[in-house]
Amino acid sequence: AQSVTQPDIHITVSEGASLELRCNYSYGATPYLFWYVQSPGQGLQLLLKYFSGDTLVQGIKGFEAEYKRSQSSFNLRKPSVHWSDAAEYFCAVSTSGTYKYIFGTGTRLKVLA
C-alpha cells in the first residue's frame, strides 16, 4: 500500500541548532516528493519539492531536502533553526498525472530560545 511515514511526532531543538526531519515513503511509481509547513491555525505552505534531477533540493526559508531512492527517504534539513521555524511539517508524495497526494501524519517542531 502507498504510504508516507514521519517517524517523529514531536521534535524539540534549540535555536541555532541543526535540524533533520525524517520522511520515508512506500510508493509503486516514480514519486514526486514534497515538504509542507503549517504554522498554527494556518494552511499548508510548500517548502520544497522534488520531481527529478539533482537529489538535493533547496527550498524556501533556508530548508533543503535530499532524495535517497535506495532508502525511500526524503529527509528535510536546516543547518540553523530560528524560533520562527516552530510549526508542523508534513511530507507528501504524488506522481505525474495523478491527483492523489499522500501525506504523512506530520512532525511538530518546537524551538527553544
Partner 1 sequence: DVKVTQSSRYLVKRTGEKVFLECVQDMDHENMFWYRQDPGLGLRLIYFSYDVKMKEKGDIPEGYSVSREKKERFSLILESASTNQTSMYLCASSRGGILSTEAFFGQGTRLTVV
- Binding residues for partner 1, per CB under 8 A? 9, 32, 34, 36, 41-46, 49, 51, 90, 92, 94, 96-101, 103-106
Between 15 and 32, name the residue whose CB sits nearer to partner 1: 32
Closest distance between partner 1 and the C-beta of residue 82, in Å?
A: 22
Q: Which is nearer to partner 1, 18 or 26 (CB)?
A: 26
Cβ of residue 97: shortest distance to partner 1, in angstroms?
5
The grid cell for 5 is 511515514
Which secondary structure element, helix H or strand E, spans residue 63, and what is its range?
none
From residue 106, alpha-carbon distances to 54, 96, 102 in Å are 25, 23, 12
Q: Closest separation between CB of residue 105 and partner 1, Å? A: 4
Q: Scan for cell 517548502, then name that residue.
A: 47
d(CA 99, CA 39): 25
Cell numbers describing residue 96: 505525474
Distance between CA 47 and CA 107 in Å, rounded?
14
Query: Which residue number, 22 or 49, has a Cβ lying nearer to partner 1?
Result: 49
Smallest gap from Cβ 36 to partner 1, in A, equals 8
The residue (of 15 and 73) whose beta carbon lies closer to partner 1 is 73
